Amino acid sequence: MTTDAAEGAAGAVIAGQRVELLDRARVYACGITPYDVTHLGHAATFVWIDTLGRVLRLLGVQPEVCRNVTDVDDVLDVAAGRAGAAYDEFAAIQQFGFDRDMAAIGVRSPEHEPRAHRYVTHVIRLAAGLLEAGAAYPRGGGVYFRGAGVAERSGLNREAALALSAEFGGRPGDPAKDDPLDVAVWQVAEPGHPAWDSPWGPGRPGWHAECVAMAMSVFGPAVDVHAGGAELRFPHHAYHAAMAESFTGVHPYARAWFHTGVVTIDGAKMAKSAGNLVLLGDLLKEHPAGAVRLMILDRPWARGWDYRPELLGPAAARLESLYRAAARQGGDDPAAVAEVRRLLATDLNVPAALDLATEAGGAAARTLASVLGLT
């Protein structure tokens, strides 16, 4: 057996780009807004991030995953109001359900789990720093980050950026802004939402700023990997990076982005309003967690996919083949184990690793089953 050190530098290819790592990796994952039950889209994102961590561990790198909880959020406030509960109590109850669902599908607890409501003073400091850097301006009790260049850096035209901004609560129509693509770092207090004192008046943190404050507080100015569902690419992640870089002057904020593919139902986005939510809890009542996990993982991680109940049968069959291969006597070929490792280190190529491990059997299959969280 060779040791990790003897195999040379540790590193992984993520989104086509090699990220060299010494002994630890800072992975920031945008977590949930705890106002609703866990659906398959959430599960897919967090199973993939969990698997990224497991692959890093296989490579001899200790992942430090920080998965935040966005418990200060406009949509959550509305849901809590409807339930007649305080926003933080409501969020805490939802969080228990999410943790239960994550445990049921084998997602390990993150090393850090900051909650937004504890980082309000950090956001105030962030806002002050962005004002000092000239990247933000105060207006009517709020603080706004200048965002006109963010869309361009993301490769979006203005029209597409404005549409996404409106969809994700960016309030492009807010008359307080110099530019519709500016975003609130500090949002002026409004009825129905929690409020804290600040140098600019009572208000609450803006969504992107919360994540910046949490990521920076846990990891400092930069991370090795920033992870989250692909739908967060713009505006959330684009503004996160822009704010962090404007505040610290450290570029790039993230060495690699891990944007997991969106899960659709009949080609449509999963949404409560569309009535097409596939809940993880419901799936796990009828199918083993391993089959659900493998249905999620046996595909390219960045590509969106359409869920159909018929996908679970083949996933269960593939899982059984892997288990049978793992139980096979002999065939513990070190080259096959090394190849599984190489395939996983190369943009988490699970389908190819699965083919190889099932064929080779023995240690290669056992290694893969363990790294994919299927044991």
- Shorter beta-carbon distance to Zn ion: residue 30 or 131: 30
- Shorter beta-carbon distance to Zn ion: residue 38 or 68: 68
Cα-Cα-Cα-Cα torsion 279, 375, 343, 307, nearest 10 degrees, comes to -20
Output the CA torsion sign for 40, 46, 51, 52. Answer: positive
Number of residues that bind Zn ion (CB under 5 A): 2
Region from 116-124, 205-213, 323-331, 336-344 binding Zn ion, contact rule CB under 5 A? 205-213
Residues in 267-326 that interact with Zn ion by CB under 5 A: none
Please report how close the Cβ of residue 137 comes to Zn ion at its closest, in angstroms: 23
The closest alpha carbon to 361, from 318, 317, 331, belongs to 331
Please report how close the Cβ of residue 167 comes to Zn ion at its closest, in angstroms: 16
Please report how close the Cβ of residue 318 comes to Zn ion at its closest, in angstroms: 33
Please report how close the Cβ of residue 236 comes to Zn ion at its closest, in angstroms: 5
Region from 22-30, 131-139, 335-343, 359-367 binding Zn ion, contact rule CB under 5 A? 22-30
- Shorter beta-carbon distance to Zn ion: residue 211 or 295: 211
Query: If you write DSSP's letter for every residue of 93-120 in order, what string do you get?
Result: HHHHHHHHHHHHTTPPPPSB--BGGGGH
Please report how close the Cβ of residue 66 comes to Zn ion at its closest, in angstroms: 10
Strands laid side by side in the 62-67 sheet: 62-67, 24-29, 223-229, 254-260
Distance CA 358, CA 131 (A): 57
Residue 2 amino acid letter: T
Please report how close the Cβ of residue 28 comes to Zn ion at its closest, in angstroms: 8
- Shorter beta-carbon distance to Zn ion: residue 55 or 211: 211
Region from 23-31, 93-101, 346-354, 357-365 binding Zn ion, contact rule CB under 5 A? 23-31
Binding residue for Zn ion, selected from 156, 211, 291, 348, defined by CB under 5 A:
211
Residues in 88-117 that interact with Zn ion by CB under 5 A: none
Please report how close the Cβ of residue 18 comes to Zn ion at its closest, in angstroms: 25
Please report how close the Cβ of residue 48 comes to Zn ion at its closest, in angstroms: 16
- Shorter beta-carbon distance to Zn ion: residue 70 or 94: 70
- Shorter beta-carbon distance to Zn ion: residue 21 or 244: 244
Crossing angle for the helix pair 363-371 and 350-360, nearest 10 degrees? Answer: 150
74-94: burial string, b at 16+ Cβ within 10 Å, e else: bebbebbeeeeeebeebbeeb
Output the CA torsion sign for 284, 285, 291, 296. Answer: negative
Residues in 26-45 that interact with Zn ion by CB under 5 A: 30
By CB under 5 A, tell whether 244 contacts Zn ion. no
Peptide bond into 309 cis (omega under 30): no
Distance of CA 302 to the CA centre of its chain: 12
- Shorter beta-carbon distance to Zn ion: residue 106 or 205: 205
Distance CA 46, CA 250 (A): 28
Residue 247 amino acid letter: F
- Shorter beta-carbon distance to Zn ion: residue 146 or 226: 226
For residues 266 and 276, the answer to whether their CB atoms sit within 8 Å is yes
Residues at the interface with Zn ion (CB under 5 A)? 30, 211
